[in-house]
Amino acid sequence: MATSIKDIELSNKRLTEILDIANDWSLCHGISILDSGDAENDGKKAITAPFSLFPSVVPAQILRQAQKSMKHFNLLMHKVALDHSFLENSLKNVIQADDFMKRLWDIYLQVREVGIKQPFYFGLFRNDFMMNCLKSITAGDLVTADQLELKQIEFNAISSSFAGLTEQISELHRLTLIMVGKKFESQQLPENKPATGFAEGLAKAWELYGNANAVILYIVSGNERNVIDQRWLEFQLYETHPHITVLRKTFLDINNLGVLDSNSVLTVNGMEVAVVYLRDGYTAENYSSEEEWNGRLKLELSTAIKCPSIQYQLMGSKKIQQELARPGAVERFISDASVVQDLRRTFADLYSLDLGPEGDEAVEKALASPEKFVLKPQREGGGHNLYSEDITKFFTLHRNSKQREGYILMQRIFPWQQKNYLVKRGVPFQLSDVVSELGIYGVYIGSAEQEIANYQCGHMMRTKITGTDEGGVVAGFAVLDTPFVI
Ligand code: ADP
Ligand code: MG
Ligand code: MG
């Protein structure tokens, strides 16, 4: 593999041996998700999370560009979240069309009405990109950085996952490359410590809250499969800050056990909560009853530092991403023209679908060539977008209806195709044509006046078979991967 997986020559026997070693290495090092079996009756069963056998290639310039932009994205998104009129103008039509967004918006209004009790905001973000290929090439052929453009797919402001598992994948790939005799410089598989960076953020937010007896509260779902990834952060935190207690509770627990005192201090089982870290609550299905919504509201009304607060969650919606792409929108928040240009360069073409001539024009464009677009609702976690003929079907049904305002239209990115072996149930283990999505992790802590932390803390890749529309590892589309830098 001078520069590509295609160059690795392996006998089938050796390949099978390496696969076996990689599988066992993954089990030993906690690259795991829980099996979807019946945890209550069978006990917990972990299986290896899907992964690629080798890393996928990323030009150094592209990785650097993505990393360099992260601090600016952190600050931009923080400022967006604190700008009430920007949020309101951007989301006013979405909340009419989408009940889930309306519920989030109503919580935000309630929190504003009684007065925001915690001035500090805390984000553990992941900004996702694809490398759009400017020329048509055969899978596995090399392209240079100038034939690729880094394009933002989305900015995740809630429950950004895989900081934990991805640290281990970098080490796994070091091993598999060495086993096939691939020579590489250590910086080609760069050190990658996002879980460490996230744990530092959690500890910093906890310190900022200022009560040595208070706890960090994870909000998790009762049927979560990605528990090990969450635990990696928690265990990292114990290693560096063993005096901090971490609780894991559901929204329902908070509804039942959480107490807000007259100063809006939140306690759970008598323990004061300093930081709330949401690994649940990003999509409508996470709130199956009013009690769960009430649990969320209780958190938002408290003095605890929330990761994320309701404003941060709203800021991370696809609608805000689309509104930020309008001329002048980024400029509202950032005055440095060269920074604005660096961020804007990564934006794909994005279109509002609000009723009116602008939205009508976008609908016409999508109907004329649906294969060039992705239609996105305000959802997270993979599996919600519409592509190709589903776009046509959607607009045939909802051409002029309010419903279209709950969605945005996005230019479809056609990423650089490479070759790799994916290790995943239901996918044949063979050299396959694949495409990757690069995520950059970032931490931000700040108030309207003060910045406490703003850093970029690592990367991850998710890789899928070419032609698979959706992404998402737990959702079942992609595998975990890391960049091999050339
Ligand atoms: P979610 O919040 O559900 O992860 P995304 O916007 O990340 O939503 O979309 C899910 C997946 O769909 C992505 O991981 C990516 O694989 C694919 N995707 C999203 N937007 C585009 C796009 N503009 N072009 C090509 N693929 C896309
Ligand atoms: Mg997302
Ligand atoms: Mg995504």
Q: What DSSP letter does each residue of 285-335 carry, written as one string?
A: GG--SHHHHHHHHHHHHSSSEEET-HHHHHHTSHHHHHHHTSTTTGGGT--
Determine which helix (DSSP H) or strand (DSSP E) holds 171, and give its type and residue range: helix 163-179
| 315 CA from centroid of ligand 2 (Å) | 12
SS3 149: strand
pLDDT at position 2: 36
Which residue of 371, 380, 385, 481 sits with most ligand 1 atoms within 8 Å of its CB, as the best mutation to test the pocket?
385
Model pLDDT for residues 272-327, shown as the tens digit of each residue: 999 999 999 999 999 999 999 999 999 999 999 999 999 999 999 999 999 999 99
Model pLDDT for residues 229-275, shown as the tens digit of each residue: 999 999 999 999 999 999 999 999 999 999 999 999 999 999 999 99
Candidates 317, 233, 239, 316; CA nearest to 275 is 233
- ipTM exceeding 0.90, yes/no: yes
- The C-alpha angle 362, 91, 103, rounded to 5 degrees, equals 125
275 pocket-lining for ligand 1 (C-beta < 6 Å): no
- Which mean pLDDT values do the consecutive 10-residue runs of the chain (486 residues) have? 59 94 96 80 84 97 98 98 98 98 98 98 98 83 87 98 96 95 94 97 98 98 93 96 98 98 98 98 96 98 98 98 98 98 98 98 98 97 95 97 98 95 92 96 98 98 92 86 96
Specify the length of the chain in residues.
Answer: 486
Alpha carbon distances (Å) from 1 to 9, 415, 461, 485: 8, 21, 19, 12
- Which residues have a Cβ under 8 Å from the Cβ of 52 and sit 6 or more positions away? 420, 421, 422, 423, 434, 463, 479, 480, 481
Residues with a catalytic annotation lie at 126, 154, 156, 161, 318, 376, 380-381, 462
pLDDT at position 38: 63
pLDDT at position 135: 80
Amino acid identity of residue 255, one-letter, is N
* Contact of 482 with 55, CB cutoff 8 Å: yes
What global pTM score does this model have?
A: 0.97
Determine which helix (DSSP H) or strand (DSSP E) holds 32, and give its type and residue range: strand 32-34
Q: State both tokens at 114.
A: 């009684």
Per-residue DSSP letter, 57: E
| 206 CA from centroid of ligand 1 (Å) | 33
pLDDT at position 36: 77
Residue that is written with structure tokens 């809630």 in the block: 158
Annotated binding-site ranges: 126, 154, 156, 230, 318, 376-385, 387, 410-413, 437, 462, 464, 470
470 pocket-lining for ligand 1 (C-beta < 6 Å): yes
| 380 CA from centroid of ligand 3 (Å) | 7
Ligand nearest the Cα of residue 158 is 2
pLDDT at position 291: 98
380 pocket-lining for ligand 1 (C-beta < 6 Å): yes
312, 314, 316, 318: CA torsion to nearest 10: -170
Phi, psi of 476 (to 5 degrees): 100, 15
